Each structure stands twice: as C-alpha cells, then as structure tokens.
Amino acid sequence: MGQHVVITGASSGIGAALARELGQRGYSVGLLARRADKLAELAESMRSAGAEVATASADVCDRDGLLVGIRQLEQTLGPCTVLVANAGIGGRLDPTDWDPEPNRKVFEVNYFGALNAVEVVIGGMLERGAGQLVVISSVAATRGLPPAGPYSASKAAISTMWEALRVQLAPKGIHCLTVHPGFVKTPLTAGNDFEMPFLVPAETAAGWIADAMANKRRELTFPWQMALVRWFMKRVPEWLFDRVIGRRG
C-alpha cells in the first residue's frame, strides 16, 4: 500500500513545503487547514508536478469538523498511514497586562489540536498495526522562553506527550517522530522583530523532516547549530539561563 500522509496546517510555511516535498517523494498527500483557497492553490501546483493530492478545510480545534475533514481525505486517498501534526500558532504573554485568552488558544491549537488529529487516525493505524505520527514541536519546547511563555509551554507539553506515545505505540507498529525546528522562514516568523539566528528556508526544513520520517528517527532538531543550542539549553542551571535569556529581553 502506498503512503497517505495527512498534514495539518498545510496551507502555508513548513506544512506547505513538506507537502510539496512528500508529494515529490511519492506520498499521496492530504492537505488540511482552515483556508480552503490556499489549499486549493497548493493542490493545483502539486498536481501539475505529478503528485496525488486531496484537500479538506477544517479547524484542528473542532474535533467533529476535523473528523469529517480527515475522513474526506481518506475517501479520496485511502487510509491515513502517516499523520503530520503541524498546525500551530504563536503565543506570548505580558504578565503586567494579563490576558488569559492567547494563553488558552495556543494550547488549544498546538497541544489539543495535534491530539485531536491523532484521535481520528489512531484507530485505523492500530487495526493495521502500522503507521507514523509526526509532530512539529519547536526548540522553544526546551525551556520557558519569554515573552513566548505560552508557546514554549504548549510545545513542551506536546513534545512530552509525543515521547510517551512513542514508547506506548512502538510495540503496536506505530512510529512517532518529534521535530524541534529552530527558526524557519515562514509567515509565522515574518512578524518577528528580532534577529533570528540560523534561520532556514521552509524548503530546507521540509527536506530534513522528510529524511527523518524516511529514516524512522525518533527526534529531529535542526539546523545543527540549534541542536547544539538545545543541548546546552537543556543542561544550563537556572541562574545561568536567567542571566542569558534575561539579557536578551
């Protein structure tokens, strides 16, 4: 059976680039996001490059809508054999001007949204005793990075959850991969008003993610400079972390 990958958040950035990459590598690609027009545009250009593609417009926070969307993709492309839970949003918090809403929303999309998608495909994967679950987390999952505390927390939560799933699902034939990207040039980072070290194009990121999927890696951090940063970030004591990150503001 050919591979049918469902990618959430496929209408732009990393998701769209990964869709193109996997389409070129022979996967059937199910594109899912809220903006139907963007998905249709991408699907058309992928089809003209020879890929098999279907689209579904859904919000990952809406469990019923997501179920309908993924089933729609499966009707066209066959059972989902690979899920890439990529849909995500940024989230900042200013503790001097507390607003609970962005905090809640970022968890709804980045954490629950990813798990809502797993919920739809896990039954079929368990039945077949095969499948792959990929989550696009972030280097920001490593420590609490102000002012993006809510974003860091949501990514730490999903990375931790994926790790537990990885251990539980391996004996069932389901492989889990957690991706921790550094800075990638996408609409999400376009508004950042600070210098982004080791920024990589979305197409480069997509190639690395596709390789990690093919090689059944458990974890991928990129680029290598960010893997090094993540290694140190995990290990520095709190006082040093506060001093370095505090100075960056």
Ligand X SMILES: NC(=O)c1ccc[n+]([C@@H]2O[C@H](COP(=O)([O-])OP(=O)(O)OC[C@H]3O[C@@H](n4cnc5c(N)ncnc54)[C@H](OP(=O)(O)O)[C@@H]3O)[C@@H](O)[C@H]2O)c1
Site residues, ligand X (CB under 6 A):
8-15, 33-35, 38, 59-61, 86-89, 109, 113, 136, 138, 181, 183-184, 186-189
Name which of 169 and 200 has its Cβ closer to ligand X. Answer: 200
Q: Please tell me the distance from the alpha carbon of residue 112 to that of residue 116, in angstroms, as a whole number.
A: 6
- CA–CA distance from 80 to each of 36, 66, 143, 238 (Å)? 20, 13, 33, 43
Name which of 130 and 186 has its Cβ closer to ligand X. Answer: 186
Provide the phi-psi class of 78: left if phi over 0, else alpha when psi is between -120 and 50, else beta.
left
Cβ 96 to ligand X shortest distance, Å: 25
Instruction: Give, as one character, the DSSP assignment of residue 136.
Output: E
Cβ 164 to ligand X shortest distance, Å: 19
Identified catalytic residue from 151, 162, 183, 222: 151
Instruction: Give, as one character, the DSSP assignment of residue 126.
Output: H
What the block records as the tokens of 98 is 């507390």
Cβ 183 to ligand X shortest distance, Å: 4
16 CB contacts (<8 Å, ≥6 apart)? 10, 38, 42, 202
Name which of 35 and 216 has its Cβ closer to ligand X. Answer: 35
Closest CA to 79 of 138, 38, 39, 129: 129
Name which of 117 and 169 has its Cβ closer to ligand X. Answer: 117
Name which of 38 and 92 has its Cβ closer to ligand X. Answer: 38
Q: Are 85 and 114 in contact (CB under 8 A)?
A: yes
Q: Please tell me the distance from the alpha carbon of residue 204 to that of residue 215, in angstroms, as a whole number.
A: 17
Strand intervals (E) in 131-218: 131-136, 174-181, 184-185, 200-201
Cβ 64 to ligand X shortest distance, Å: 13
Cβ 131 to ligand X shortest distance, Å: 20
Known catalytic residue at 151: yes
Catalytic residues, which ones? 151
